[in-house]
Every structure is written in C-alpha cells, then in structure tokens.
Amino acid sequence: MGVVIEREEWALTPLAYPLLSAAGLAAVLLLPYFSAARTPAHAAGPSSSPFDVGAGTFLRVGCYRAVVEGIQSVFGEDEFVRCGLGREQMAARLAGTAAAALFPGAISGVISDKIGPRRACILYWVLQLAVGALKSFSTLRCAWINNFILALASSVFSFCFETWLVVEHEKQDQKQDLLFDTFWVMTFFESVSLIGSQEITNVLVSNDGNGFLLPYAFAATLSVVGILYMRNASSTTQHASAIGSYQKSFFAHVLRDKRVLILVLAQASIHFAVSAFWFLWAPTIVADGRYAQLSVIYPCFLASRMLGSASFPWFYGPTAPFRNEDSLTIAYVGAGLALYVVAYDYQEIGTLVILFCIFHACVGFIIPSLARLRTMYLPNELRGGMMSFSLSLANAAIFIFLLQGAHPQNIANSIILGLASCGLLVAGGCIHMLRRWRKHTRQNPRSL
C-alpha cells in the first residue's frame, strides 16, 4: 500500500494587495487635506508640488533605474541555478559582488564629488548598459564581470543621484519642504517601479532559453534611454576642489563631526539589514520544508515599503506629533525588533510575512528620513564621499559573512539576522542622540 504525503501550501490572502495599496495611496492623496500647516507653504509659487515638472525629471530617471535594476535582480537564485551553480558557488559569487562594491565603490563617491553628480549618473547608465548587453548573450549571462559591474553601478547611483537632486533644487531656489517631499516621492515610486519590473519580466520571459534573455535586452535599451535623458538634462556644475582641500573638508565635516558619523552608522546599518534580508528571507520562510509561493509574497514587501515612504510627510513639520529624529528612532527600533523576532523565535509563515512587511514599512520611512538629515548636516560637495564611506562599512560586513557562508554552517542565518537587528537598534539609539546635539534651530536654512 502506497503512502501519500500531503503537502500543505501556504497562500497569502488576496485582500493583502488591495489593502496595502489603498493605505499607501490614501496616505498620499489625503495629505494635503489633513496637513494644514503644509498646505500654505506649498500653495505659494508655481513649483509647489513634488509632482511638478521640475521634480518630474528626477521621478522619471528614478523609475528608469528601478525598472532596470528590478529586471536585473528579479530572477535571483533562479538565474544561478540555470547556470549550474551550487550553494557554495552562489555564496562565493555574492561575496565577490560585495567585494566589488567595497573596494572600487569606496572611492566612487569621491570621484562622483569631483566630476559632478550628473556625469556620475551617466556613468551609472553606461555600466547598466554594459551588463544588459553582456547578459543578452547566453554564454556571458553568468560571468563574474556582470556581478562586479552591477555592484559598482548600484554604489554609484545611490549617492550621485541624490546629490544631483539636491543641487538642482538649490539652484532653482525651491523650498526645503519641497526637497524633502521629493525624497519620499522618489522612494514611493521606486517601489512602484520595482513591482512593475516584475510584470515586465514576466511578459518578456518564455520557457525557452532565448526568451529568458529578452529582459536583459530590454534593460540595455532602457539604459540607452537613460544615457540620452541624462545628457539632455540640465545640471549645475559643482566646483571641483583639489584633492588636498577635499581631504581637509572630509575630515572636518565627516570624520570629526559626530552628527555626520551617526548618519554614517545609520546608513551602514540599514544597508546591511536590507542586504541580509534579501539573502535570507526566502530560506527563512521555507525553513523545515514549508512551502509557499515566494513570487506572490515579494510584492507585499514592496507595497509595505510604499506605505512607509508615504507616511513620511505625516511625521515631520511644525504640527507633526514627533520630531524627525524621534520618528526615525521609532522606525529603526521597529525594524530592529521585527528582525530580532525572526532571528530568534520560530514563527509560522503568516507571522513571518507580517514581520517582514513591518520591516519594509520602516525601511520606506527610514530612507527619505536619512536623506533629509544628510541635507541638514552635510555639505553637498561631500555627500558622495560620505555615502560611499557608509556603504563601504556595510559592504565589508556583508563580504565577511558571505565569505563565511561559502562554507556551510560556519555562521547560522539567525546570527546574521540577529546582528542586523542589533545594528538597527544601536543606530536608532544614536539617532535619538542627534536631538540632544542639534545646535541649529528650525529657522536655520539647512535645518528647515
């Protein structure tokens, strides 16, 4: 008599998608009506909304970038499996990617500050074009150079685009509130574009090998559009200081300023936590032989991030219930506790999904909040160097753990998530100290 083993598949409730989407859209659409203190500030002047023509340039470029990177990463482990790579080879490949972001990426911020953010953005699109072209050929799809270029490109864009955005806003003499609105709108639309990149990939991919390569050709084409768009975009050329002057400014405004060092630690902690999450969320959910459709869970995380970024403008301003530092501290603590529970307490799949959604909602709030604080405390000409420095710290930790992960059972997944949780909690405590150290009032133009 045969034995029939029943496999129970966990399914996400269909109501999750419309509820998360409706909550995010409601946070955006209801903001002008329930935030009376912000309405007059935005009512003055022709450029009073982050959705206007000026900000539309940044939104389009940001969406292009999210779609391209979403296409490059949507396959994840499946791409390595198609190339015949095992677990140790995958870990070694990812460790090499972290090393690429660590060493060349460490100086890419300084180079961006020297050549200007617009040229650095063009360099990013050139790198993405190279990866899309290489992966369009089946023989080069899993080459090491692809991971190297993608890691370098991601590091470059993370700071050059933000610097370009801030410089252009200041050139147009726009209000600081509008700049801060642009930060969260960019994060919101980035999540939307990442979801859209999945749909594009599903449409382009077929079961045959040639169809699998079509998304990469599309990404290369979109990179060409990005290059042409950036070449035609207006830009303010930053003053290129000498290396010696740049070093003195970097030591004075970054390494010797405890407020900026706190922002360095905060950025490194969230980058490491997000990277650890993407490496480990799927193995955590399907642990002990559990089964779930991961492809339908992934959009919930992005929708939660949309909700978090849409809630950002509700928690800063004169009438906000908390100061920005207090709200950011709460977000860090919430993200840290969510990962802590996942790391050290066995949970069912439904509970894990809820915790991961809470984590992503906090991430969606943290990203524009850190951009706002960098604008308050950091000169624009040092932004790229400071952000690449913080990313290098996170990439160093990622490199160490992935290198150990190339040898099974050297470091447990729970330890990595636990360290990411501790980093977030420590960063939250450090952010709380910024309120005590802040020397500038709200009337200071860099602190508005």
- Long-range pairs of 38-43 with CB within 8 A, sequence gap ≥ 24: 38/177, 38/313, 38/317, 41/175, 41/177, 42/177, 42/178
Average confidence score pLDDT of the chain: 76
How confident is the model over 46-82, as pLDDT tens digits?
A: 444 555 545 567 777 788 888 888 877 766 556 666 6
Q: Of the ranges 34-43, 226-235, 262-271, which is most confident?
A: 262-271
Distance (Å, rounded) from C-alpha 127 to C-alpha 395? 20
Alpha helix (H) ranges present in 136-208?
Answer: 144-171, 176-204
Q: Are 431 and 335 in contact (CB under 8 A)?
A: no
Question: At residue 7, does pLDDT exceed 70?
Answer: no
Alpha helix (H) ranges present in 76-175?
Answer: 77-82, 87-115, 117-135, 144-171
Element (H, E) at 292: strand 291-292
Return the minimum-mean-pLDDT range out of 232-241, 387-396, 408-417: 232-241
How confident is the model over 315-361, as pLDDT tens digits?
A: 776 656 666 778 889 999 999 999 999 988 777 888 888 999 999 99
Number of other CB atoms surrounding residue 153 within 10 Å: 28
Quote the pTM value. Answer: 0.85
Alpha helix (H) ranges present in 241-377?
Answer: 243-250, 258-285, 294-310, 324-344, 349-377
- Long-range pairs of 348-357 with CB within 8 A, sequence gap ≥ 24: 349/10, 349/285, 349/290, 349/292, 350/10, 352/284, 352/285, 353/12, 353/285, 353/297, 353/300, 356/277, 356/281, 356/301, 356/304, 357/20, 357/300, 357/301, 357/304
Please give the residue that has the higher pLDDT: either 319 or 374: 374
3-state class percentages of the chain: helix first, strand second, coil last, to nearest 5: 80, 0, 20
Region 393-400: mean pLDDT is: 83
Q: Are 428 and 329 in contact (CB under 8 A)?
A: yes
Unique residue bearing structure tokens 């779609």? 67
